[in-house]
Each structure stands twice: as structure tokens, then as C-alpha cells.
Amino acid sequence: MRLFQGDYDRETVFSDDPVATAKLWAAQGAPRLHIVDLDGARDGEQANAEATRAIIAAVELPVQVAGGVREIATVESWIEAGADRVVLGTAAVQDPSFAGAACQRYGDRIVVSLDGRDGYFASRGWLEQTEQRIEDLMQQFADLGVQRFVYTDIAVDGTLTAPNYAAIEELLKATSAKLISAGGVAETEHLVRLAELGVEGAIVGMALYEGTVLLPEALAAVR
């Protein structure tokens, strides 16, 4: 399932078999799977844990798990389940010491997701806008040991328009940590441009499901 600009009332369901979908992308050469529990992100619970665990068990790819991770015990459970990385979002911003403790225990397997509109962080699955600047939060978390961030520009996420290159450039200037871009990718050239900017990677969803980006070709273009 995908949202349009973070709107839970504008969702698109592409498949009711997440394991089969994961195997499809694995067969096409995906280097990593990024799985977001959208219900968990909104409600703070692991609503789709069973499906996520089934995906982890079914593919031989590193899996990055996100959505509703609110405590260190949940982080530990995902690492034990075989997740390669665990993404922290709202809970980390509300309690930065949580992210610091997770990084002390698991190092670069911890990722902080900073999702925003107009440069400001949005929490609870993008439902609540805050007055916290994304670049300020990145610096705060980098000081706590966070080595990798996912940045999603909500205004372009799921729109098949283009990434917000200007915002990404500013964030890359603001930190030496690794940055993964999400949102707006509609064609392979967008991925090439992101690679040229210096992001570590890009999360592609809607473009793959709609067929405007073909995974093998995209991987070859940025390899």
C-alpha cells in the first residue's frame, strides 16, 4: 500500500500478498527492502508485524523496518527477527535519548527517519506538523551517534513528480551522516540526479509499482 502525500485517505493498495511482492523485487535485483508499517506509524503499534516477519523470512535481502517503533524492546525484537536495520521516527524526536541508546547498542543498524513539509518535521505518520527544522534535528541526532537518516519530503511523496533536490542539497550540506532520499521519484533520471548529489540511496515505491521505473534498468544506471 502507498499513500499520496502522506494522506491516509488517499491510499493505493497494489497487492494483498506482501511476501509475493517482496520476492518479486528480490528477483529483479533489489539490493534492500524498505518496509513501513503505515498503521504502526500512525498508531504507535506493530500492527503488521506478522506480515513483516514473513517477508524477512522469505527473502535473502537485507530488510529495513520502519513504522511504530517506540521503544528499545521493539528495536531488539526486529534485530532478533532478522531485520538488517530499524528505522526510528516520531519516538526518537520525542525522546532523543531513545535514539542515542539504540545507537549505542546497535550502531549503524539504527536509522532515523525525518519526514517533513517545507523543511519542518511531521510526526505520527505525517499527521502532525511540528515547528522543528529538519536540519536542526539531523545535527542533534548526529551528536547522539546516528550515522544514517531517511529524509522524506511529504509534498512529493507518492506523486510521481520529482524529488525535492533543493531540500536534499541543503540537508547534505548540514550533516556528514549518510542520507537516504524518499519521495517523488518518477523516472530513472531522478535516481541518477540523486546519486550525483551524493545521497547514499533512494527509496522507490510508487514508480516501481506504476512501472515508470524499471528496477533492473535503474540499478544499472546508478551502479
Helices (H), 59-154: 72-81, 90-94, 96-106, 134-143
- Per-residue pLDDT at 12 exceeds 70: no
pLDDT in tens, 117-126: 888 888 755 5
Out of 5-14, 169-178, 191-200, least confident range: 5-14
Long-range contacts of 188-195 (CB under 8 A, 24+ apart): 188/213, 188/214, 188/217, 188/218, 188/221, 190/162, 190/163, 191/218, 191/221, 191/222, 192/221, 192/222, 193/163, 193/165, 194/163, 194/165, 194/168, 195/222
- Per-residue pLDDT at 2 exceeds 80: no
As given in the structure block, the three cell numbers for residue 90 are: 516520531
Q: What is the pLDDT of residue 223?
A: 87
Q: pTM score, two decimals?
A: 0.88
pLDDT in tens, 68-112: 899 999 999 999 999 999 999 889 999 999 999 999 999 999 999
Residue 68: other Cβ atoms inside 10 A: 25
Average pLDDT, rounded, for the chain: 89
As given in the structure block, the three cell numbers for residue 206 are: 510508487
- Per-residue pLDDT at 194 exceeds 90: yes
Pick from 177, 181, 179, 130: nearest CA to 156: 181
Pick from 11, 66, 4: nearest CA to 35: 66
As given in the structure block, the three cell numbers for residue 79 are: 534485530
Domains and CATH numbers, the chain: 2-222 (3.20.20.70)
Hunting for cell 527509496 — which residue is that?
A: 203
- How far are the Cα atoms of 14, 54, 85, 105, 140 from residue 61, in angstroms, in the given order? 21, 13, 12, 23, 31
